[in-house]
Chains A and B, each alone.
Chain A
């Protein structure tokens, strides 16, 4: 990655921008440190993936965002997933480099919930944000995290006070159609003790005229007894390389559940990690992806058990077409002292093309005796007996294949908590598989 495209000229402009936006001093310092580190650190080492050969040249330039009071003033494509006449009560829209719209129900606001752009959060809740921002994912980890610390812009801050249980999902939309725009949102979710929330975001894009890197980080801090359900679908154009880190830190008896639909068209690296710090904490991660074209994918789910009696489960299912490649890593790490931990994982890859490649790598790293850990991994084609069974009922080969492939992904798709987004994910799957969209019946 040519960091010289950022340094040193950009360094000054980044810091100047930070000052002009009146970011707290600590944030300006973090950005400067991030950029300095970026000059020294290496790209992450990914198993069997030469990320250094990916197109990582252009990180975009920060574009000022015009805020709108009505999402209908945004391009239709950005709000396609919404019923603009009946907006969700808790909604944030990130457009290109920044947040253009956000709203939170007065009821939740009165109970102390915060849901706003990260920039706004720095203004209004600077000290609160400071406790968490890039404390779960550290700028020192690698070149990408360092760069993100320096260059991030936009994204969301979601804060749920103690004992507040939010029933209605909180929704965020990330959309880019400006080929020059920096796309490096930062999402931070803090769930205080015994609170609960379901957060759902979707990433989408127009067709860009040049190649662009998305460098995003999501951090989730789950305090004791809290529960965060996190769902994300990604549908970015071929011209975007998606580099996404998501990480949850879970305290005693806390719980985090991830559901991720990777439907990008460009090369993508995603790393979804749960740090089970507290005793009795648990995590669940479900990831699906469809690889198409010449896409290269590196998908990692990871659970790290520190606390006693911690539970993790991870499922990744990938369907591979054309000449796409996916390296799927499941990493269960059980630290010394995490007695009674139970870590399970399954990776399944369905190969639809002889030229596609899919590797499932289950990895168990266990430093404690009194634990349970299990893994299952498989790479295979559509099962001939299943195909025969369906066809023996008169269903055509094509239709039978569809049923089997969608069925393979369905257990994850059905976990998406907002029905509109669940349907969208189903549509994205169909489009990625090259099947025509279903008639809206």
Chain B
């Protein structure tokens, strides 16, 4: 029990570019649990992930986030990571001139802390072993970070980082997008291998297939920047077969998205200018 982490999100509100996106999100994820957040595009899922990780564009306007009781929101991004948070991003950055291996080594050593760095040899052994598990071409170690990687290669590289950094609380944002079935199996195996009492997962996806490989304990549906429904794994099956319309109907939601610019409607009686 002592090592079981716990992420508590309470009434989290966040805005981007002056638009309020998160409308009070609350979640409680403990070590050993896998929570899935599902929802159509544009409902605020990535915003939630970014707000937890501390992306500078997202302004927190209310609520709290704690990891093992510590206030996450007052930490800098790198402190959050060193505290044990990990976010596999929907759109990882490409960085020219920084090799994947140099980056991974810097990240591991940052997590391990000064005086406890991994020797180059041991690092290479570790990296190569994990790359093998993920069936990644060893050449990716020497390529510039994410530069010229296909969508699927970027996703594998995110999972590689997760495996090397061994975080306490993992958020996977659309890790399944851009993956074919084989790749998804490999990625899911990587995630399942890390499942333990010492680690919690928050898996964001807008479709169901990944969740047949990674069985969630709790499933949440996000719409309009809030969790509108929570349930067990059976919720995945219902969404799979029936889509999201029944949820919207049940809750009286017409447009599930959030933060959209008001639509500009053309007046009906406009006459096109003559030339």
In angstroms, Cα B77 to Cα A99, docked, is: 55
Known: A388-B55, A399-B110, A403-B102. A394 touches B92 (CB 8 A): no
* CB-based contact B144/A391 at 8 Å: no
* CB-based contact B76/A399 at 8 Å: no
* CB-based contact B98/A404 at 8 Å: yes
* CB-based contact B98/A396 at 8 Å: no
* Among candidates B87, B96, B106, residue contacting A408 with C-beta atoms closer than 8 Å: B96
* Among candidates A386, A394, A408, residue contacting B107 with C-beta atoms closer than 8 Å: A394
* CB-based contact A397/B89 at 8 Å: no
B53 in the interface, Cβ–Cβ < 8 Å?
Answer: yes
* CB-based contact A392/B165 at 8 Å: no
A384 in the interface, Cβ–Cβ < 8 Å?
Answer: yes
* CB-based contact A393/B95 at 8 Å: no
* CB-based contact B95/A386 at 8 Å: yes
* CB-based contact A394/B93 at 8 Å: no
In angstroms, Cα B145 to Cα A392, docked, is: 14
Chain A binding surface SS class: helix
Residue of A nearest to B53 (CB): A392
Residue of A nearest to B82 (CB): A394
Known: A397-B76, A399-B110. A407 touches B96 (CB 8 A): yes
B103 in the interface, Cβ–Cβ < 8 Å?
Answer: yes
In angstroms, Cα B78 to Cα A40, docked, is: 61
Known: A384-B56, A389-B95, A407-B144. A395 touches B102 (CB 8 A): no
* CB-based contact A406/B97 at 8 Å: yes
* CB-based contact A409/B97 at 8 Å: yes
* CB-based contact A389/B96 at 8 Å: no
Within 8 A of A (CB), among B52-94: 53-57, 76-78, 80-82, 86-87, 89, 92-93
* CB-based contact B97/A391 at 8 Å: no
Known: A388-B56, A399-B110. A410 touches B165 (CB 8 A): no
Counting contact residues on chain A (CB < 8 A from B), the size range is 20 to 34
How far in angstroms is the closest Cβ of chain A from B120?
A: 8
In angstroms, Cα B106 to Cα A292, docked, is: 27
Report chain A residues within 8 Å CB of B76: 391, 397
**Contact string, A373-403, partner B, CB cutoff 8 A, digits 1/0?**
0000000000111101111111111011001
In angstroms, Cα B56 to Cα A408, docked, is: 22
* Among candidates B77, B97, B102, residue contacting A388 with C-beta atoms closer than 8 Å: B77
B23 in the interface, Cβ–Cβ < 8 Å?
Answer: no
- Most chain A CB neighbours (cut-off 10 Å) among B87, B98, B102: B98
* CB-based contact B97/A392 at 8 Å: no
Report chain B residues within 8 Å CB of A389: 89, 92-93, 95
A411 in the interface, Cβ–Cβ < 8 Å?
Answer: yes
Report chain B residues within 8 Å CB of A411: 96-97
* Among candidates A391, A403, A404, A407, residue contacting B77 with C-beta atoms closer than 8 Å: A391
* CB-based contact A410/B98 at 8 Å: yes
In angstroms, Cα B99 to Cα A406, docked, is: 11
**Contact string, B144-180, partner A, CB cutoff 8 A, digits 1/0?**
1000000000000000010001000000000000000
B-contacting residues of A (Cβ < 8 Å)? 383-386, 388-397, 399-400, 403-404, 406-411
